[in-house]
Amino acid sequence: MGKVARQVVEQAGVNVDVLLDKLVRAAGAEFTTFYYYTILRVNAIGFDGEGLKEIIEDARIEDRNHFEALTPRIYELGGALPRDIRQLADVAGCPDAYLPANPRDMSAMLNVLVEAERCAVRTYTEICNLTFGKDHRTYDLALAILHEEVEHEAWFSEYLSEGPSGHFRRGSPGTSPYVRRFMSADIG
Amino acid sequence: MPFQKLGRADEIPPGKTKFVCAGEAPVILANWEGRIYALHGICPHQHNPLEGAVLWDHLLDCPWHHFMYDVRTGQNHFPKNVFPPDVPLAQQQVGPLATYAVRVEDGDVWVDLG
């Protein structure tokens, strides 16, 4: 824990316990989404599914990256991840992204994906609103994650023909162009 | 049970919510497009209070796990719209919120808690 790191956030008017609860829930949602997206990616097959597979993989790896990036901040502020992974799944801040009943229905799968991303966009917008101008480090991290979640939503929305995303695919799977700088343990 | 006064309409501007307790009954009031709706104040998913819930159009967004309910009917919208019907554990989570009749008189919000 960073004693002063927490104190400055408290003195800026942020309820750190509330913030930590939101960060742990967000981390739980990233971890469970990584798990569920693994199942969705495995099932993205056939004429429609193969095209979807790569962007599911980008989103899957980047969600794992978000978990990795959130965790140090939770501990810096004096929080902790639940000791029991079942508890982490229970507190996860977004619903489970289940494989649809018909796993060959790519439209149903896309709806699962886009709704999961919309939940994430709401989650990080809320954390940004809570920390803006008060907790600069958490805000910077949450904003970086928000950038990626917004892109994920746009990718899946584009596949549902809701409108163009304006993006092109990542150069390599799960590059995390915004969050990467927070993954200090992964940078050699 | 007769209607109970739970607040003032001007405390809940359009697009906003207010969490109140009528005795021991938690209620969430929501103003969507100028009309006030009243729903049970506990999310049926994990039985957490809906205090701080946000409105997205007509959908009430639970602050704990982002389950979303239609303020007009109390029905779960998300994740019911994507939860598979063949996973019983998933289906158990997406029950509706009870809704209550609302009357606004002289700026006061009256709710029939039934």
The pLDDT value recorded for residue B1 is 61
Beta strands in A41-105 (DSSP E): none
pLDDT category at A2 given cuts 50, 70, 90 is: confident
Q: What is the pLDDT of residue B38?
A: 98
Give the whole-angstrom CA distance, residue B25 versus residue A159: 44
pLDDT tens, position by position, B20-79: 999 889 999 999 999 999 999 999 999 999 999 999 999 999 999 999 999 999 999 999
Kindly tell me if the per-residue pLDDT of A185 is higher than 80.
Answer: no
Asked whether the predicted pLDDT for residue A96 surpasses 70, the reply is yes
| pLDDT for the residue numbered A164 | 85
b/e map of B43-74 (b: 16 or more CB within 10 Å)?
bbbeeebbeebbbeebbbbbbbbbbbbbbeeb
The total of other beta-carbon atoms located within 10 Å of residue A3's CB is 9
A116-141 residue pLDDT tens = 999 999 999 999 999 999 999 999 99
Left (φ > 0), alpha (ψ -120 to 50) or beta: where does A176 sit?
left
Indicate the fold that domain A3-186 takes in CATH. Ferritin (1.20.1260)
Q: Does A97 touch chain B (CB under 8 A)?
A: yes
**Domains of chain B, with CATH numbers?**
4-112 (2.102.10.10)
Mean pLDDT across A10-28: 97
Residue ranges covered by each domain of chain A: 3-186
Shortest distance, CA A135 to any CA of chain B (angstroms): 21
Whole-structure pTM value: 0.92
- The angle subtended at Cα B77 by Cα B74 and Cα B80, nearest 5°, is 115
Other CB atoms within 10 Å distance of the CB of residue A97: 25
Of A25, A98, A115, the CB nearest to B90: A98
Total residues belonging to chain A: 188
Q: Looking at the complex, report in whole angstroms how far the Cα of residue B20 sits from the nearest Cα belonging to chain A.
A: 20
| CB spacing of B67 vs A93 below 8 angstroms | no
Dihedral pair phi/psi, residue B110, rounded to 5° = -110, 135
Nearest to B65 among A94, A108, A126 (CB): A94
- What count of residues does chain B have? 114
Asked if the model's pLDDT at residue B98 lies above 60, the reply is yes
Question: How would residue A173 be classed by pLDDT, with cut points 50, 70 and 90?
Answer: confident
